């Protein structure tokens, strides 16, 4: 099991909710449904994602689409730089203003994807403890790698990018399955989207009512 050695506490203001899973796991659908449901209930929601639209995030997307990957260490450093900017410029300020942050991917994606390239997963997780706030809840949408790849290729009509080969996605899934992480809720990503949404919303409203 991979776990946090000394779990930090989640931020004391706001609500930080993260979605993780393989490409094609349905994260963005669930982020949108949750954001809408919370806004309808009067909450201020900030919806965001990683990689970001910032300079490092754009560099990552350009690299992924080109199919020419940089070394695993360099790739890791780009994701970390993107994340540090994201935390200081958007995530922390939004939480300090007591908003709900709904985020598509965070550092468990780094653990899974850069871990699948041979980097030390535990070290990736531990190094993030120094600067990355702990989400109140992380929803991991679990799907087999084959299904994720099919969904990316067929339903979205996209050509898989450099992160999306069956072998590498299977390695990512292996890491996701080993995680023992505070606030992590693993859900079957093959459930109907509305069922998943109901489960997630119920959990989020319970957490929100305790704040
Ligand atoms: P993704 O959420 O799929 O963005 P988009 O829908 O714009 O393609 O993220 C792009 C890829 O980046 C995805 O295959 C996973 C990968 N990734 C990492 O390898 N490490 C990370 O830390 C993050 C956040 C993403």
Task: Flag the least confident range among 30-44, 151-165, 166-180, 191-205.
Answer: 151-165
Question: Which residues sit with their C-beta closer than 6 Å to ligand 1?
Answer: 23, 50-51, 64, 79, 104-105, 109-110, 113-114, 163-164
Closest ligand 1 atom to 49 CA = 2
Q: Which CATH superfamily is domain 14-210 in?
A: P-loop containing nucleotide triphosphate hydrolases (3.40.50.300)
For residue 157, the model assigns a pLDDT of 72
- Does residue 140 contact residue 187 with C-beta atoms inside 8 Å? yes
For residue 146, the model assigns a pLDDT of 95
Residue 16: φ, ψ to 5°: -110, 110
Nearest CA to ligand 1 atom 4: 51
Task: Flag the least confident range among 56-60, 67-71, 141-145, 204-208.
Answer: 67-71
pTM: predicted TM-score of the whole model, two decimal places? 0.95
Cα(191) to centroid of ligand 1, in Å? 22
Alpha carbon 140 to chain centroid distance? 8
- Does residue 100 contact residue 44 with C-beta atoms inside 8 Å? yes
pLDDT tens digit string along 79-108?
Answer: 999 999 999 999 999 999 999 999 999 999
Cα(206) to centroid of ligand 1, in Å? 29
Does the structure show a pLDDT above 80 at 1? no
Q: Is residue 164 very low, low, confident or very high in pLDDT (cuts 50, 70, 90)?
A: confident
Q: Is residue 5 very low, low, confident or very high in pLDDT (cuts 50, 70, 90)?
A: low
Nearest CA to ligand 1 atom 20: 110
Does the structure show a pLDDT above 90 at 163? no
**Domain residue spans in the chain?**
14-210
Nearest CA to ligand 1 atom 9: 51
For residue 35, the model assigns a pLDDT of 98
Beta strands per DSSP E along the chain: 2-3, 15-21, 45-49, 100-104, 137-142, 179-180, 184-188
Mean pLDDT of the chain: 94
Q: Ligand 1 pocket: which of 113, 117, 152, 157 to mutate (most atoms <8 Å of CB)?
A: 113
Q: Are strands 15-21 and 2-3 parallel, antiparallel or unpaired?
A: unpaired
For residue 7, the model assigns a pLDDT of 64
Cα(5) to centroid of ligand 1, in Å? 26
Closest ligand 1 atom to 23 CA = 3
Does the structure show a pLDDT above 80 at 138? yes
pLDDT tens digit string along 43-85?
Answer: 999 999 999 999 999 999 999 999 898 999 999 999 999 999 9
Cα(180) to centroid of ligand 1, in Å? 21
Does the structure show a pLDDT above 90 at 12? no
How many angstroms separate the CA atoms of 12 and 98, rounded? 9
Cα(21) to centroid of ligand 1, in Å? 10
Cα(109) to centroid of ligand 1, in Å? 7
Does the structure show a pLDDT above 90 at 116? yes
Cα(23) to centroid of ligand 1, in Å? 8
**Burial readout 141-153 (b: 16 or more C-beta within 10 A, e: otherwise):** bbbebeebbebbe
How many angstroms separate the CA atoms of 94 and 100, rounded? 7
């Amino acid at each position: 099991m991979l776990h946090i050695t000394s779990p930090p506490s989640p931020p004391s203001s706001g609500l930080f909710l993260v979605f993780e899973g393989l490409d094609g796991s349905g994260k963005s659908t669930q982020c949108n449904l949750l954001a809408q449901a919370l806004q309808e209930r009067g909450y201020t929601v900030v919806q965001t994602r990683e990689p970001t639209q910032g300079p490092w995030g754009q560099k990552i997307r350009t690299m992924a689409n080109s199919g020419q990957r940089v070394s695993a260490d360099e790739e890791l450093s780009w994701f970390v730089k993107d994340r540090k900017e994201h935390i200081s410029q958007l995530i922390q300020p939004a939480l300090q203003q007591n908003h709900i942050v709904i985020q598509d991917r965070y550092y468990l994606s780094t653990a899974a994807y850069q871990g699948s390239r041979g980097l030390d997963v535990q070290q990736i997780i531990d190094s993030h403890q120094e600067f990355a706030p702990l989400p109140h809840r992380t929803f991991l949408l679990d799907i087999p790698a084959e299904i994720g790849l099919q969904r990316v290729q067929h339903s979205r009509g996209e050509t898989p990018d450099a992160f999306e080969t069956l072998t590498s996605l299977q390695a990512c899934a292996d890491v996701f399955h080993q995680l023992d992480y505070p606030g992590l809720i693993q859900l079957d990503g093959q459930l109907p989207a509305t069922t998943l949404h109901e489960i997630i919303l119920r959990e989020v409203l319970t957490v929100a009512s305790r704040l």
